[in-house]
Structure 1
Amino acid sequence: MASEVTRFARPPATQRIGVLLLPGFSLLTQASCVEPLLIANQLSGCNLYQVLTLSLDAEPVRSAAQLACITDHALDDAPAPLDILLVIAPSPLPYPLPARLLEWLRQRHGKTLGGLDGGGEVLARCGLLDGYRAALPWPRVSAVSQGYPTVVITQTLFEIDRNRMSCAGGTAALDMMLTLIARDAGAELAGRVSEHFACERIRLADEPQHVPLRSRLGHAPQSLVEAVTLMEANIEEPLSTLELAEHLGVSRRQLERLFKKYLQAVPSRYYLDLRLKEARKRLRESDQAIGEIALAVGFSSGAHFSTAYRNHFGLTPREERLVV
């Protein structure tokens, strides 16, 4: 129950977490970042996290909704040391970043740093994500990848790579912070914090952002968009490459060339990836029997499904459920 307190044989040490808000930040991202930490304190009966909000100066920071947020400290009087510093910024960044902010962030090199929403792009501009995996909001992936080629940009919900954290913003921040709580204080407490927010489950870091199909395929021909749309609509009874080509009025060879050029895969391989990702989603989000899931994603044999799943993800469907 929510009133119960998690007992620790030895309570973890308090972590001091600074949350830097930049003008135009998302209130949803801020709440998804800060509130899980405060609820973790409440449910554990321990001061696991001390959260301090920061701003560029002593003035209130206006959110994207033009609501003013009073912070605890300005940069010039920010307390030290901070165990984790998280930057929350709008995406895309609608203004140039002050030089003193960039220098202040660079001085925190080596600490655990995080970028939420547009905050990841802020860290990239400082050179603080070079050589790290980073999750950014999907509309900014292409531009940031081109501008900062030494950053390993992903389209996952969030990334925790050594002493760097990043997420796409919004509710992805909640999943990232729940993962942090699980790492610091255990999965049991993280699960109870998740239940407090009526979350069905904690999404994992490797889960992709939902990117609209046309955005995923960029300037690809309409026939390729239609081919992928057909695949997504026919997961339970997969179409052959020849059947797809006939539906679209193109030759099989032409369809294969389009997939290779724009998706770097043959149609059958891309289709299999779609089906197995749908299977993983069902394994993680439902109690549906594994055999039923196999049929629902187009496998007539449970053994074939298990082998294909292990070859693709490195673990069996049964093991996938144990991970979750």
Structure 2
Amino acid sequence: MSIRERHQPPATEGPLTFAVLVFPGFPMMAFSSVIEPLRAANVLAKRECYRWIIVGAAEGPVEASNGVVIQPGFFAENAPKVDRVVVCSGGDADHLVAEDAVGWIRRSLRGGAHIGAVADAAFFLARAGLLDGHACTLHWTSQAAFTEAFPDIELRRDLYVIDRKRFTSAGGVGSLDMMLEIITSDYGPELAAGVAEWFVHSPLRSSVDRKLMPLRLRTGVQNELVLSAIAIMEDAVEERLGMAELAVKLGVSSDKLERNFRSELNISPNGYYRRLRLKRAADLLAHSTLMVRDVALACGFASMSSFARAFREEHGHAPKVARRH
């Protein structure tokens, strides 16, 4: 039996409509990962389970980060009521201002819509107060800046997070996984599995996999001990965790921790931790408005001079050069 023949979703009153709100520089992979699963679901179900429209924040074509230009069918001021709104923006989401778009999203929310974001677009929703009281995620390069900007919003370092009427993904393949779970909720696991098979994608990941996968993808680390150590390091950037204390948390000796790091990454645990803190500093400088001194403190450096020296050694330039704005 082909995948086209075995996936019949339960009946609903009518198709669910998604609106993808795009901003200049939006990531095409995350954008496609939202729309293509909907198309595949319709083909496999042999009926219209979903509809979708593209909405621009303002009139005119919108260029993706890869240079592809699309023409939205609607603009925020005239966009219709939909069931789901997905905001898709690039790395400047922390600076986006679009009052018409926010107004349309609020009207959609009052009408019962679910609101989502892919890649860095959680920044846009958070600044509008649309993530208050909800957990979320976004692209890993912006997570540090997001935490600093919105300390009261629960940020989860997952590929995607679905929390009641809010859904967010880190972008890329995380958006596809998120859509598969949404399709599961809407029409059942059989149709979602068919969509995953359509795109030659692995089955839906467990919640544990979703937590470890982003870290594994970013670091390339396979060693479970090293991976667990890095996860703890990432949560303790500001407090300067000692390596002996880290070993205790992991239930191993300091020597074993050292051997595993050098075998997997050819660097000491302390050296990796220092590099991680300096990478976090670069991300904060690029994606936040924190003063350089505050960035240093947020990354575990008590001395401004030691931070500047370490940053230059790691990145080849002074911290102020990393400022994007």
Q: TM-score range by the shorter chain?
A: 0.5 to 0.7
Give CA-to-partner distance per residue, 1:42-91, whole Å, 9 cap, x none.
Answer: 100121111111112331110001210122211122112x1111100112
Q: How far is 1:115 from its partner?
A: 0.9
Which whole-Å CA distance do the structure 1 matches of 2:149 and 2:253 have between them?
A: 37
Aligned to 2:283: none
SS of 1:78 mapped into structure 2:
coil
Identify the range of structure 1 (215-224 vs 131-140) with the bigger mean alpha-carbon deviation. Answer: 215-224
1:5·1:45 contact (CA, 8 Å) conserved in 2? no
Partner of 2:154: 152
Return 5+ residue gaps in structure 1 as ranges: 232-237, 249-257, 263-324
1:282-311 CA distances to partner (integer Å, 9 max, x unpaired)? xxxxxxxxxxxxxxxxxxxxxxxxxxxxxx
Residue 241 of structure 1: aligned partner: 253
Q: Distance in 1 between matches of 2:149 and 2:160?
A: 20
Contact 1:159 1:205 in 2 (8 A): no
Output aligned runs, 1:1-324, within 5 Å. 1-4=2-5, 6-8=7-9, 10-11=11-12, 13-80=14-81, 82-93=82-93, 95-110=95-110, 111-206=113-208, 207-208=210-211, 209-210=214-215, 211-212=218-219, 213=230, 216=234, 218=237, 224=243, 240-241=252-253, 243-244=255-256
Instruction: Output the CA distance in 2 between the equivalents of 1:6 and 1:185.
Output: 10
Structure with more relative contact order (C-alpha pairs < 8 Å, separation 6 or more): 2
Q: Which runs of 4+ in 1 moved over 3 A?
A: 106-110, 211-215, 217-225, 242-248
Letter in 1 for 2:48: N
State whether residues 136 and 167 of structure 1, in contact with CA within 8 Å, keep that contact through their aligned partners in structure 2.
yes
**How many residue pairs align between the two structures?**
240
Distance 1:245 1:23 in 2: 45
**What is the CA–CA distance in structure 1 between the aligned matches of 2:181 and 2:137, rounded to whole Å?**
15
3-state SS in 2 of match to 1:108:
helix
AA at the equivalent of 2:186:
D
Identity %: 25
Gaps of 5+ in 2: 220-229, 261-269, 275-325
Partner secondary structure for residue 76 of structure 1: coil
Q: Distance in 1 between the 2:98 and 2:259 partners? A: 54
Once residues 20 and 245 of structure 1 are traced to their aligned partners in structure 2, the CA distance between those partners, rounded to angstroms, is 46
| CA RMSD, 1 decimal | 3.1
2:77 partner SS: helix
Letter in 1 for 2:22: L
Deviations 1:144-191 (A, max 9, x none): 112112211110111110100001011100000000111111101100
What's the offset of the Cα at 1:9? Answer: 5.5
**For the Cα contact (< 8 Å) 1:109–1:128, is it kept in 2?**
no
Separation in 1, partners of 2:33, 2:190: 19
In structure 2, the residue corresponding to 1:77 is in which secondary structure? coil
* TM-score, normalised relative to structure 2: 0.66
Question: CA contact under 8 A between 1:16 and 1:51: conserved in structure 2?
Answer: yes
